[in-house]
Structure 1
Amino acid sequence: MPRRSAGILLYRRTPELQVLLGHMGGPFWAHKDEHAWSIPKGEHDEDEDAEAAARREFTEETGHPAPGHLQPLGVVRGSKVLTVWAAEGDLDADAVVSNTFELEWPPRSGRLQTFPELDRAAWLDLDTAATKLVKGQLPFLDRLVELLG
């Protein structure tokens, strides 16, 4: 079975359309910027409701409650099955505090280090977001534009 993941793409109009993305944490992504940002999301079990997982993961990765009203943006299948919802809202990107994960680093050192899942967040216009978002998530930007008309 493929791994499943779910997330929420938060957007605002200021007046231009912007989306909230998070830069992936950990040593692999530390010195990368282009295509190193993600929609706040996370894995869930097959038997867990994807929307409930998206809400939980948004809160875990941003430190903010998930927005109330979500609009489906559908599924993208790649190395994972990713389901995403859109929500209009606003939050202080500088106040995003993500949950953490442990990783043996450096490899084979026997030392476990703790890293944030997202080490920072930012509001980005769609053109900038398209250069920063991991490639497998790019279809969700087009779907958001289509949804908003």
Structure 2
Amino acid sequence: MSDKRSAGLLLYRRTADGGVEVLIGHMGGPLWASREQSAWSIPKGEYEPDEAPEAAASREFEEELGLPAPEGEWLDLGESRQRNGKLVTVWAIEGSLDPAGITPGTFTMEWPPRSGVQGEFPEIDRVGWFAPDVAAPLLVEGQRVFLERLTERLDGRG
């Protein structure tokens, strides 16, 4: 099993009709460019054992979106082991932000493969607000459980 750990924040907002929407980001870079299904993620990132997961979640939110995490109560949505073995911990926080205000962090990778050419790509190339049932098939499979947990918490079942 991987000992890699990741932490993230799932931003949610209530809609005028009493529903809920969540903010997720489409993964950047050439590997994800033509994919929609299972190509979106909760803003999150890896952290080392000496960093508190809450601090990592807040830091990664700002690194990936270029905006600080909103103030508010953090709802613990627990952990989920991903297919690659990574253990992901997520909190939800109620807030709103305008996707137009996003300035994503970047990463560097060789592209095309074995070309020797290094390219810089956004960690997240776009974000959107979606109802949980619309977001679920977009999210990478291992993160869908967090939508279920958020819905249960907000419905008073969790």
Asked if Structure 1 and Structure 2 have the same fold, meaning a TM-score greater than 0.5 normalized by the shorter chain, the answer is: yes
Equivalent position of 1:114 in the other structure:
120
* 1:101-140 Cα deviation digits (max 9, x unpaired): 0000001111100000000000011111011011000000
Equivalent runs, 1:35-114 vs 2, <5 Å: 35-68=38-71, 69-78=73-82, 79-114=85-120
What amino acid does structure 1 have at the position aligned with 2:88? L
Aligned length: 149
Partner of 1:7: 8
Q: Displacement, 1:147? A: 1.0
Structure-2 separation of matches of 1:17 and 1:60: 25
Aligned to 1:127: 133
Deviation for aligned residue 1:44: 0.5
Partner of 1:140: 146
Scaled by the length of structure 1, the TM-score of the pair is 0.97
Between the aligned residues of both structures, percent identity stands at 56
TM-score (norm 2): 0.91
CA shift at 1:94, angstroms? 2.2
| Equivalent in the alignment of 1:21 | 24
Runs of 4+ that moved beyond 6 A: none
Q: Which segment is superposed worse, 113-122 or 126-135?
A: 126-135
Are 1:94 and 1:122, in contact at CA under 8 Å, matched by a contact in 2? Answer: no
- Unmatched segments (≥5 aa) in structure 1: none
SS in 2 for 1:86: strand
